[in-house]
Structure 1
Amino acid sequence: MDTQALSAFIEIADSGSFTQAGLALHLSQPAISKRITMLEQQIGQSLFDRIGRRVRLTDAGRTLLPYARKALQDIEDGRRALSQLHDQVAGRLSIGTSHHIGLHRLPPVLRSFTQRYPEVDLDIHFMDSEVACEGVLAGKLELGIVTLPTQPLAQLTMQTIWPDPLSVVVAPNHPLLGKRRLRLHDLADHPAVFPDENTYTRRIVTQALQQHDLTPRIRLATNYLETLKMLVGIGLGWSVLPDSMIDESIRRLRVPELAMHRDLGCVWHQNRAASAAARALREELGQASIAGSR
């Protein structure tokens, strides 16, 4: 069976959409459909039921899926193992990272890495940290450079690269800035804009607030921290953001009872062979961690 057809099959099964699979694989919908048609002809059975825009696996599709995943993972593991047989650091390296890390942390690391290893073909996917961790566990990504999970995940090795303190932030003209004796529960009297509830960052913030029996009045939520910063800056609500994002557009609200932080770092599958390129990027990230601690 053609590996490209298997990749398309798995992506459609995971996303439930030919369109989304095409976007993920950078293919047109006709190209995705052609690959599936070819695969169905090879096995002699239909893999998907198409009902309007909804796509569901047939019995044959559900039976094939775990074998397809294993076949592609075995091929990928073989490629990575072969890359260790020579000294040259080259080939494709698939990584997932969040938009925040991609904007604020990764540029100098990737600049140095690509200058040192020009033969590496970086395949970078921007996504939520939680999705990137799932991609590493599923074998779709070799590395995730993410907000680290709040709890250990089985088979996932984590390395902290950048400690990331968090603070309560408000607009420069927010009424809480003028209070002489700010109490923690004063926050509950004002609307908040928060990270999406499914994110690791939201879990960290929620846990810290729950320890003080504080329930925020959340006006809206989004998983883009840059968007939250803008919303805070125009006065839509208070939020909790990394200290590294604080500038003249927002102000830190000093709340001594709250000490929050998250860890940004690298994750990889502990039971799968690492390519030479992945090991080299992990070393580059380690150097960034050492430089940041000085």
Structure 2
Amino acid sequence: MREISLDRLRTLVAIADRGSFADAARALHLAPPTVSLHIAELEERIGAPLLSRKRGHVRPSAIGEVLVERARRLLADAEQALADIQRQVQGLEGRVRIGASTGAIAHLLPQALEVLRQHHPAIDIQVAVLTSRETLTGLVDGTLDVGLVALPQPPVAGLVITPWRRDPVMAFVPAHWQCPARVTPAWLAGQPLILNDATTRLSQLSAEWFATGGHQPVPRIELNYNDAIKSLVAAGYGAALLPHEATAPLPDKRVVMRPLRPALWRRLGIAHRAGHIERSTQHVLDVLRDLRMA
């Protein structure tokens, strides 16, 4: 069954509004024979006359009036759809799906979301709490648009992964403990520990840091939620190794931070698909990159 094109419906509405084939042709910038052809095709498709001519004036027939009313709605919906899409193309609206770890979501991502709310309030940001591996898989599958991932990562076909920021990993220690000014693997390995679980890049970094001193400590508990780890440190349950962003709030007074010797860094990257980037996604990338040195 042949579909009815919007162009034919637009011609019918123009004739109904102007009462003349000639006036409709001028308004639509069409040749009069083209207007007549549009109506003939519509009437053939419908199987009934859509217009009647009386005293030189053209009016819709009863069936034509019904189609004109429906056509107005269809044309308005089509125009609105195009306008909505155009706003997305321009980056004024859109949806951006971000994958990130709990650590990035806790203190880094909220800063970007606040800037986006102020400057691009119509962009809908959806955030998923994922490991770096899950985030990269989501980008490849097309279920995510932007990812904040731990570095280093092996190259992934179709993705661009660029360094974003580097934050020092610090020892978070209960304040009532006596600890050195700089914490070494040997000292920390002898304390009760609260570490990130083995699925995280930070866990691997911590294990490598302890290994520089020949240690493989077994933690009292493993978590993947940095704020929960800090709460346990504040309660005196153990010490932890966690990244510290310059803009993050100071820890609980029951917790002290100490630098590590040797130093340890948590590196993060921004990942997205290669090729064309939608304007709304580009806005998110631009805001995140502005936080590079924050």
1:250 to partner: Cα distance: 1.3
* Deviant stretches of 4+, over 4 Å: 82-86, 179-183
- Of structures 1 and 2, the larger Rg is shown by 2
Q: Distance in 1 between matches of 2:163 and 2:181?
A: 38
Asked if 1:278 is matched to 2:281, the reply is yes
Residue aligned with 2:193, SS: strand
Contact 2:173–2:255, Cα closer than 8 Å, also in 1: yes
Tell me the amino acid that sits aligned with residue 269 of structure 1. Answer: R
Tell me the amino acid that sits aligned with residue 165 of structure 1. Answer: P
1:180 to partner: Cα distance: 9.2
1:228 to partner: Cα distance: 1.0
Alignment of 1:49-128 (within 5 A): 86-128=89-131
Q: Percent identity?
A: 22
Which one of the candidate residues 134, 139, 142 is aligned to 1:139?
142
Tell me the amino acid that sits aligned with residue 199 of structure 1. Answer: T
Contact 2:112–2:291, Cα closer than 8 Å, also in 1: yes
1:192 to partner: Cα distance: 0.9
Tell me the amino acid that sits aligned with residue 153 of structure 1. Answer: P
User: Which residue number corresponds to residue 269 of structure 2?
Assistant: 265
Tell me the amino acid that sits aligned with residue 171 of structure 2. Answer: V
Q: Distance in 1 between matches of 2:200 and 2:111?
A: 25
Tell me the amino acid that sits aligned with residue 100 of structure 1. Answer: G
Tell me the amino acid that sits aligned with residue 256 of structure 2. Answer: R
Change (3 A) 1:182 1:89: closer
Contact 1:130–1:199, Cα closer than 8 Å, also in 2: no
CA distances 1:75-126 after superposition (whole Å, capped 9, x unpaired): xxxxxxx879943442221111223322211223212223322332222222
Q: How many residues align?
A: 205
User: Which residue number corresponds to residue 20 of structure 2?
Assistant: none
User: Which residue number corresponds to residue 205 of structure 2?
Assistant: 204
Q: Distance in 2 between matches of 1:115 and 1:255?
A: 38
Change (3 A) 1:86 1:185: closer
Change (3 A) 1:184 1:95: closer
5+ unaligned residues in a row in structure 1: which ranges? 1-81
Q: Distance in 2 between matches of 1:265 and 1:84?
A: 29
Q: Distance in 1 between matches of 2:202 and 2:211?
A: 14
Q: Distance in 2 between matches of 1:181 and 1:108?
A: 30
Q: Distance in 2 between matches of 1:165 and 1:181?
A: 13
Q: TM-score normalized by structure 1?
A: 0.62
Change (3 A) 1:83 1:191: farther
Q: Distance in 2 between matches of 1:123 and 1:269?
A: 17
What is the root-mean-square deviation in Å for CA atoms of aligned residues?
2.7
Alignment of 1:154-165 (within 5 A): 154-155=156-157, 156-165=159-168
User: Which residue number corresponds to residue 243 of structure 1?
Assistant: 244
CA distances 1:190-213 after superposition (whole Å, capped 9, x unpaired): 221100111011111111221221
Q: Distance in 1 between matches of 2:235 and 2:122?
A: 45
Change (3 A) 1:241 1:183: closer
Contact 1:89–1:280, Cα closer than 8 Å, also in 2: no
User: Which residue number corresponds to residue 76 of structure 2?
Assistant: none
Alignment of 1:164-243 (within 5 A): 164-175=167-178, 177=179, 184-243=185-244
Residue aligned with 1:144, SS: strand
Contact 2:185–2:209, Cα closer than 8 Å, also in 1: no
